[in-house]
Amino acid sequence: MNDGTPSGDTRLRMSRLFPGGKNQKARATAILFVLPAFTAYAVFVLAPLVMSLYYSTLRWDGIGKARFTGLANYATVLTDPDLLSIIGNAFELVLYFTVIPVLLGLAVASAIRGHMAGTFGTLTRTVLFLPQVIPLVAAGIAWSWMFASSGLVNQALTAVGLADWTRGWLGDFDFALPAVGIIGAWVLLGLCTMLLVTGITKIDPSLYEAARLDGARPWHEFRYVTLPGLRQEIGVCITVTVISALASFDIVYIATGGGPGITTMVPGLEIYRLAFAHRQVGLASALAIVLMVLVLIAITPVQWYAREKK
């Protein structure tokens, strides 16, 4: 993020020495270049964001008169047991969306270090990226079918003699949320694996040689060479997966609609339900702002971890 480009510095000095004139023009040119993007951003992101903040202080059904209620909606979001458990669901999804892909990805990456060349490598890359290319909605439908009563998961359990375990997974109060989590893990696994596999090839092989000469065991090698070397890639994986867990919408909408009960309801879907089905625009907006802040809070330490001494 080096912004002190020579041209920028020079121009800054120049404009101090010669205000107006040619540099005024240069500035106008710069503004013209940035203006289209900034306009689109301001109209469709910044303005709605300000409106979200404003709505969040209202009690409003979206049609009639709105009443100002201060921070009451935030108090509701942070105390209502249902809303709290909905926020909790999002964090539980992080366990599946983030932890499974990152751990499995690390295991695969350290196992296949340097074995991704050739046709087999290309084939692997292609297949592992498929879940990233299809709409999340399609992944949701595919897995709804996998988890259905007569779906593949139950078929496999029966085949290995665990017929007692079979159930309609997405309709089960205890297993629906983990099942949704597995869908997310499936979608993100390939991306994380490929990021880590690519990252590990950038680690200097002599580090592994040195570790081995020092008599390092495979675990030590992983702990002291692989993990530090992959710091940045792991940071990226965690960032991407945590955001998609906390802000999940598509998969849950398709696979469970938030049910049974509210066991799989997540903030994204609840915002949609509150605003457009229950006409509680104020509360929906407060939840939206809280969700945005939670994402930022969750991401910030990961960014620090990834940036620290490269």
Partner 1 sequence: MTAAQPKAWLARLLLALLITVTLLPFLSMFTAALAPSGSYPNGLSWPDEPQWSNFAKAFEAANMGQLLISSTLIVLGVVPISVLAATMAGYGLAKLTGGRNKWIYLVFVAGLTLPFEAVITPLYYEVRAFGLLNTRFAIILPLIGLYMPFSVYWMRAHFLNVPNDLTEAAQLDGATRWKEFWLVQVPLARPAIMSLTILLFLWTWNQFLLPVVLVRDPSLRTMAGALGAFQGQWGTDVPLLCAGSLLILTPTVLLFLAFQRHFVAALLQGSVKG
Site for partner 1 in 156-195 (CB under 8 A): 156, 186, 189-191, 193-195
Task: Tell me, by CB under 8 A, how many residues bind partner 1.
Answer: 116
| Virtual torsion, Cα 254, 293, 228, 1, nearest 10 deg | 110
Single residue of 276, 278, 307, 308 touching partner 1 by CB under 8 A? 276
Least gap, CB of 199 to partner 1 (angstroms): 9
Least gap, CB of 197 to partner 1 (angstroms): 10
Single residue of 83, 87, 102, 139 touching partner 1 by CB under 8 A? 139
State CA 56 to chain mean position distance.
24
Confirm if 147 and 214 have CB atoms less than 8 A apart: no
Q: Which stretch binds partner 1 (CB under 8 A): 75-83, 91-99, 109-117, 173-181?
A: 109-117
**Over the Cα atoms of the chain, what is R_g?**
25
User: Does residue 107 touch partner 1 according to CB under 8 A?
Assistant: yes
- For every residue of 24-49, DSSP letters joined together read HHHHHHHHHHHHHHHHHHIIIIIHHH
User: Does residue 84 touch partner 1 according to CB under 8 A?
Assistant: no
User: Does residue 246 touch partner 1 according to CB under 8 A?
Assistant: yes
User: Does residue 96 touch partner 1 according to CB under 8 A?
Assistant: no
Structure tokens at 119: 């046709």
Q: Is 265 left (phi over 0), alpha (psi -120 to 50) or beta?
A: beta
Q: Which stretch binds partner 1 (CB under 8 A): 70-78, 91-99, 168-176, 238-246?
A: 238-246
Single residue of 76, 151, 175, 178 touching partner 1 by CB under 8 A? 151
58-59 and 67-68 strand pairing: antiparallel
Distances (CA, A) of 243 to 182, 248, 268, 292: 16, 8, 11, 10
Confirm if 135 and 250 have CB atoms less than 8 A apart: yes
Q: Which stretch binds partner 1 (CB under 8 A): 64-72, 76-84, 167-175, 277-285?
A: 277-285
Distance from C-alpha of 204 to C-alpha of 139, rounded to nearest angstrom: 37
Is the preceding omega at residue 260 within 30 degrees of 0, hence cis?
A: yes
User: Does residue 119 touch partner 1 according to CB under 8 A?
Assistant: no
**C-beta closer to partner 1: residue 67 or 217:** 217
User: Does residue 94 touch partner 1 according to CB under 8 A?
Assistant: no
User: Does residue 206 touch partner 1 according to CB under 8 A?
Assistant: no
**C-beta closer to partner 1: residue 79 or 277:** 277
Single residue of 41, 165, 173, 304 touching partner 1 by CB under 8 A? 41
**C-beta closer to partner 1: residue 94 or 136:** 136
Distances (CA, A) of 17 to 14, 23, 27, 125, 264: 5, 10, 15, 55, 62
User: Does residue 238 touch partner 1 according to CB under 8 A?
Assistant: no
* Binding positions for partner 1, 50-69, rule CB under 8 A: 51-52, 55, 62
